[in-house]
Amino acid sequence: MKEPVDHILRPELPWRTGGGITECGYDASKVPTLTRDEYSIRLKGLGRQRAALLTCMTCADTATRWGTWDDDPRKALEREIAWECRWGRNNDRGVRLRDELVALAALAEAHSTEFRAHIDHTEKQRAWIEMKQGGKDISATRRTRGGL
Work out how close the CB of 8 gets to Zn ion at its nearest, in angstroms, rounded to a whole number.
6
Per-residue contact flags (x/-) with Zn ion for residues 22 to 41, judged by CB under 5 A: x-x-----------------
By CB under 5 A, which span of 13-21, 39-47, 58-66, 104-112 interacts with Zn ion?
Answer: 58-66
42 binds Zn ion (CB under 5 A): no
Rounded CA-CA distance 109/54 in Å is: 47
Interior angle at CA 139, CA 138 and CA 144, nearest 5: 130
- State the pairing for strand pair 7-8/33-34: parallel
55 binds Zn ion (CB under 5 A): no
What percent helix, strand, coil does the chain show, rounded to 5? 60, 5, 30
CB of 28 or CB of 97, closer to Zn ion: 28
Work out how close the CB of 72 gets to Zn ion at its nearest, in angstroms, rounded to a whole number.
23
Work out how close the CB of 24 gets to Zn ion at its nearest, in angstroms, rounded to a whole number.
3
118 to 74, 110, 113, 124: CA distances (angstroms): 17, 14, 9, 10
Work out how close the CB of 82 gets to Zn ion at its nearest, in angstroms, rounded to a whole number.
17
Q: How many residues bind Zn ion (CB under 5 A)?
A: 6
- The helix/strand/coil state of 55 is strand
* Binding stretches for Zn ion (CB under 5 A): 7, 22, 24, 56, 58-59
